[in-house]
Amino acid sequence: NARKFNGTIDEVAIWNRSLTADEIRSLYLGGLSLHRNDDNLVFSAGNATVTSDISSWSNNEWHHIAGSYGSSSATLYIDGDAKSTESFAETSFIGNDTYIGGDWINSSAFSFNGILDEVRIYNRTLSSTELDWSYNRGLEGKNTNVSSTGLVGEWHLNETSGTTAVDSSVESNNGILYRFRFAPKYNASGGRFGGAFEFNGLDDWVSATTTGFNSEAGTLEAWFKPSTVAGNHTIFSIPQEPAPVSAGLVLAMDFDGPYETTDG
């Protein structure tokens, strides 16, 4: 299942469908972030900046995106394929909240507009084989052999009522829905897997705790489906200490520029 964010203030890591880059790039120079800049999807971790061209992406298309870091390297994956790898240096972001569909400053300029689904965080570096399996699960609608070892955040976004995004991992990093206009927009069949939650890109997001997260090694992955490829969209962010100066861990997109992840 998935949730649809409206582009004002929504946050999480997921299968995504296509956001301006300079603004996001300047915002996430710290911690770990993923967003689009100059028609590239960019994953930055510490001193690493990993890019891949996504200029051919269109509105309302599903994509699986992932960023892994650890063992002195950071790798960006798109739709199951490893696009690029760079050297990585650790930056601490543990102890701050996780934001799904938006950023920690709650700015409409960086909110996600579209649908998010199956957001996951691991405190270990998933292998390329595991991430390929995860992507193909989304294509085929079936489970795969990805181990749940190290899974510290798993938001299916299948809720149909209330203001809680349940974390299915053993850490129970449940999220709270904030600033949704009128009411959260649940979509029973619009996700990559069953239902979805829609964010409007204006002023809604989810904030969750980060118990079990690891700044030395980890993996973010998600399916996302942007309603528009214009503007800035933050999919997932964890601010780096001291907040809110920079991001500890971020996944976002910008079609006036690329998606980028930054750690440091």
Nearest to 114, CA basis, from 29, 257, 11: 11
What pLDDT is stored for residue 28 in this prediction?
Answer: 37
**In a structure prediction context, what are the per-residue pLDDT tens digits for the chain, which is 264 residues long?**
555 444 432 222 334 443 343 433 333 333 455 555 557 777 766 667 777 877 788 888 988 989 898 888 989 899 999 999 988 877 666 566 778 887 655 556 667 788 888 889 899 999 999 999 899 876 665 555 678 899 999 999 888 888 889 999 999 999 988 776 655 577 778 888 887 778 877 777 888 888 888 888 989 888 888 787 665 667 777 766 554 444 456 666 554 443 444 444
Q: Which residue has the tokens 């997921």?
A: 14
**pTM of the shown model:** 0.80
3 state DSSP class of 48: strand
Distance from C-alpha of 166 to C-alpha of 261, rounded to nearest angstrom: 24
The DSSP code sequence of 195-245 is: -EEEEEESS-EEEE--TT--SSSEEEEEEEEES-SSSEEEEEEEEESSTTS
Which residue type is seen at 260? E
**Dihedral sign computed on CA atoms, order 141, 185, 223, 225:** positive
* Neighbouring-strand partners of residue 52: 41
Q: Spell out the domains of the chain, with CATH numbers in brackets.
A: 2-261 (2.60.120)
Q: How far is the C-alpha of 25 from the C-alpha of 54, rounded, in Å?
A: 16
Residues 61, 111, 136, 49, Cα dihedral to 10°: 110
Residue 261 pairs with which residues in a beta bridge?
Answer: 34
Torsion 115-118-121-125 (CA) sign:
negative
